[in-house]
Amino acid sequence: MIRKILIIDDDVKLIHLLKEYLEENNFQVSHALDGNRVVAEIREKTPDLIILDIMLPGKDGLEVLKDIRKNHTLPVIMLTAKGDDTDRIIGLELGADDYLPKPFNPRELLARIKAILRRQDMLASEDPGENLLIRCGNMVLNRAAHTIDINGKTVDLSTTEFNILEVLMKSPNTVLSRDQIMNLAQGKDFILFDRSIDIHISRLRGKIESDPGAPKRIKTIWGTGYMFVDIP
Q: What is the reported pTM?
A: 0.66
Does the structure show a pLDDT above 80 at 62? Answer: yes
Residue 183 one-letter amino acid: N
Of 126, 67, 74, the C-alpha closest to 98 is 74
Residue 80 one-letter amino acid: T
| pLDDT value at residue 130 | 53
User: CB burial class (10 A; 0-12, 13-18, 19+) of residue 222?
Assistant: exposed
pLDDT tens by residue, 107-150: 999 998 998 888 777 666 655 555 678 888 889 998 877 789 99
pLDDT tens by residue, 181-195: 877 776 544 444 445
The reply to whether CATH 1.20.120.80 applies to domain 127-228 is no
Whole-number Cα distances in Å, 34 to 68, 71, 72, 192: 13, 19, 18, 28
Peptide bond connecting 106 to the previous residue in cis, omega within 30 degrees of 0? no
What average pLDDT does the structure give for the chain? 85
Name the residue ranges covered by the structural domains of the chain. 3-124, 127-228
- The CATH number of the structural domain formed by 3-124 is 3.40.50.2300
- Identical fold for domains 3-124 and 127-228, yes or no, is no
Instruction: Please report the DSSP string for 147-193 in residue order.
Output: EEEETTEEE---HHHHHHHHHHHHSTT-EEEHHHHHHHHH-TT----
